[in-house]
Amino acid sequence: MSYLIKPENYTPLLDLKQTELGIKQIKEFFQMNLSSELRLRRVTAPLFVLKGMGINDDLNGTERAVSFPIKDLDDAKAEVVHSLAKWKRLTLADYNIDNGYGIYTDMNAIRADEELGNLHSLYVDQWDWERVMSQEERNVEFLKEIVNRIYAAMVRTEYMVYEMYPLIKPCLPEKIYFIHAEELRQLYPNLDPKGREYEISKKHKAVFIIGIGGKLGDGKKHDGRAPDYDDYTTPGLNDLPGLNGDLVVWDDVLQRPLELSSMGIRVNKEALLKQLKEEGQEQRLDLYFHKRLVEGSLPLSIGGGIGQSRLCMFYLRKAHIGEIQASIWPEAMRKECKTLNINLI
């Protein structure tokens, strides 16, 4: 079911031409900075992959992939990607990328099961990145180091936007605040995960929440994760499990948290077997990706995705992702957006 957040007295700061120019400048500037910070080279990504190989991202495990038959492959099914979490790791191996270096790509996806609204579209565009790492770096401190590098690129990009459009004042803090999902639960024990994100991001403006996908002290998860890419069960800092997390900022226009990135240290063989067992998904071990991981032909890695449209939406102070990208929206939402000065492309 679609849901529209209605900010009071919303007036876009930029017209359509300024917005399009801003989108172009943000995308070019940020990906150059991301590449430099993490030592990533750009590669070309697939729009679809073969079904049944375990390469497509399962997200929370419930979303249906858009699929179609391929005539010249005896009607074998292809799936439009949800994201490229597993494909990137295969590519690191195939390209023989050295330790400390990685890849990034423009990922375009269709997520037909999204609940459409200000932050969610059928069309997903993000920078997907992956970097080779060592066994010694499989810890929370290294995860934080990478997050800080990404956040530094975000802060520089916001200042570039300010130089380009002085009416858009910078609002990101100098440093990002780190907290584990279990610590966050204990801090706000009477709130659900979304309520906790609201309070912590409103207070600190930019937050990285560690430990997404594993069960917390109350037996519940902060949020879902597929069990075969991020390592969310290996103990890290202060013995709390989780080597992954979400980067969330406070959006002044919508007056709520905005998740810009999901990322983490990827599963090794031990974490993969453990997490698949916990989720009752051990049958995945028969798939191509999982076989390669278990046999040891894939490098240890850290990676994630950074939403392009969401990033632009945040920097340009937009109220709806449809002001940044062209997609399909319910007609009732289009009409209501028009009355709210929200100009959907």
Report pLDDT for 326.
93
CATH number of 16-339: 3.30.930.10
Alpha helices in the chain (DSSP H): 16-38, 85-94, 140-164, 181-187, 193-204, 269-278, 288-295, 308-315, 331-339
pLDDT at 111: 86
Closest C-alpha to 300, from 140, 97, 127, 106: 97
pLDDT recorded at residue 59 = 61
First to last CA, the chain: 21
Euclidean distance between CA atoms 90 and 297, whole angstroms: 9
Judged against a pLDDT cut of 80, whether residue 332 lies above it is answered with yes
Mean pLDDT for 329-338 is 95
- Calculate the alpha carbon distances from 108 to 72, 157, 213 in Å: 24, 22, 24
Compute the average pLDDT of residues 101-123: 93
CA angle 36, 41, 42 (to 5 degrees): 115
Binning pLDDT at 50, 70 and 90, where does residue 56 land? Answer: confident
H or E element that contains 49: strand 48-50
- Residue 19, judged by CB atoms within 10 A of its CB (0-12, 13-18, 19+), counts as buried
Q: Which residues are part of the catalytic machinery?
A: 57, 111, 126, 246, 259, 262
Q: Convert the pLDDT of each residue in 197-212 to its tens digit.
A: 999 999 999 999 999 9
Confidence at residue 83, expressed as pLDDT on a 0 to 100 scale: 78
pLDDT single digits (tens) 228-269: 999 999 987 678 999 999 999 999 999 999 999 999 999 999
49 has pLDDT over 70: yes
pLDDT in tens, 20-46: 999 999 999 999 999 999 999 999 999
| C-beta atoms surrounding 225 within 10 Å | 27
Question: Which of 168, 156, 128 lies closest to 42, judged by CA?
Answer: 128
Average pLDDT over residues 171-191: 97
pLDDT averaged over every residue in the chain? 94
- Does residue 57 surpass a pLDDT of 80? no
pLDDT above 70 covers what percent of the chain? 98
Residue 342: pLDDT band (50, 70, 90) is very high
Q: What is the mean pLDDT of residues 82-87?
A: 86
Residue with tokens 């959006």: 251
Reported confidence tier of residue 65, pLDDT bands at 50, 70, 90: confident
| CB 117 within 8 Å of CB 292 | no
Q: For residues 268 and 302, is the Cβ–Cβ distance under 8 A?
A: no
* Residue 277 to residue 232: CA distance in whole angstroms: 13
